[in-house]
Amino acid sequence: MKMYVYIWLVLLGMLTIRCSSDDIGNPEEGSPEYDSYWYYSYEAAQLVNAETLGMEALEDFSPYTVAHLGDTLFIANIGKEGNSLLVFNTKEGRLLDVVKSWQFDNEEKNFGSSIEAIVPAGNRLYVAERQSRIHVFELPDLTYVTCIGNGKWSGPVFQAQALAVKDGLIFARDKNGKVSIYKESDVTQENYQKINRHWQVSGNNSPGNNGFAPHYMQFNAEGNILLTDYEGKKIRVLDPTLVNDDLVNGTSIDMDELSLSLDFKPKTLALCNERWYATGDNDAINIYDSQQGEWVKKIKTIKGYSFLLPVRIYAQNDSVLWVSDTHKSMQTLVKMIVHKGEIRE
């Protein structure tokens, strides 16, 4: 009799353990019990290159940073066609406009160097170019407003390599790792190339970037700024609530306890709800699982495409990512779709 009781207790314990491993919680009342496991797969749904854009040669188009607003995708072209901002309709899959030059104060202006960052904010589009200028356009017509910076390293913009804009403040990652902060209220036509930084906070020992590796800044759901630190092999987390009139230049606003140390040098970052995606010096797309709190996978091949040099990645939403492959034999912007599937046991 004791043997039967023992076997029954063992079976009951095994059943309890199995039910508690259900990844999606308790099943609905009356439904069969099962364990649920999620898996992800990736597919190239669209390729944007010189041919699809109607350009003559492969090298005319080299996609770099991108950003979106609704169905509009803003693409930085750093190819031989010349530094320009492409306006692409993602729904129709066609090029709407190419911005290479504009008129300001009766003079023709243009992008004098490669575009490092594009950020839509309210009714404005902020476009940072490598040569120490942040151009500001008015949306939706891309009417030119003004320029922050004068193209000189000693000016108020030091080769800004990443931007984030929120609550009336403009954050720019400088070449030396520090972060300059400007006020949107200063961004007027009258202040063309006269807009000064209000604060410049510490780089928190972040190395400089003489090699011009891509960097990226983005607000997360908690309102903090995530900033890739290429040479430092980490993702910095900045607290913008520390920016006020009493802030002293050179002060650190880093939240060191939240920073992520990595085994690769991160370039750009795409924040999705359940997973983060980062490009890096390992020429792969590195995947971070938010629930597990760890980097779980590195991919170089997806259905329909194999990446050779995925330099930048951008999240349009949780299921649509745009990846810039700048390898000289590819020079393609890849629309990468995320498929989430379920396995029940």
pLDDT along the chain (345 residues), means of 10: 37 34 43 77 97 94 97 97 95 95 95 97 97 97 97 93 97 96 97 96 88 94 97 97 96 97 97 96 97 94 98 97 97 97 83
Length of the chain counted residue by residue: 345
pTM of this structure: 0.88
Query: Which residue has tokens 């990846």?
Result: 323
> Residue 14 belongs to what H/E stretch?
helix 2-20
pLDDT value at residue 17? 30
Cβ pair 19, 12 in contact under 8 A: no
Is 315 within 8 Å of 272 (Cβ atoms)?
yes
CA distances from 63 to 46, 54, 108 (A): 14, 15, 24
At a CB cut-off of 8 Å and minimum separation 6, what does 337 contact?
42, 43, 44, 45, 319, 320, 321
C-alpha span between 121 and 173 (Å, rounded): 17
Q: Classify burial at 136, counting beta carbons within 10 Å of its beta carbon; exposed 0-12, middle 13-18, buried 19 or more.
A: buried
Both tokens of 292, joined, read: 């597990």
Both tokens assigned to 187? 């961004």
149: helix, strand or coil: coil
pLDDT of the residue at 22: 32
Alpha-carbon distance 106 to 332, whole Å?
36
Q: Do the Cβ atoms of 236 and 204 come closer than 8 Å? A: yes
Rounded to whole angstroms, the Cα distance separating 119 from 56 reads: 29
| Cα(320)–Cα(310) distance, integer angstroms | 16
Token pair listed for 315: 């999240």
Spatial contact of 50 and 331, defined as CB atoms under 8 Å apart: yes
d(Cα 308, Cα 141) in Å, to the nearest integer?
Answer: 35
Q: 285 has which bridge partners?
A: 279, 299
User: What is the Cα–Cα distance from 4 to 272, expressed in whole angstroms?
Assistant: 51
What local confidence, expressed as pLDDT, does residue 33 receive?
80
Specify the pLDDT at position 31: 57
Q: In what order do the strands lie in the sheet with 310-317?
A: 36-48, 332-344, 320-325, 310-317
Q: What is the pLDDT of residue 130?
A: 95
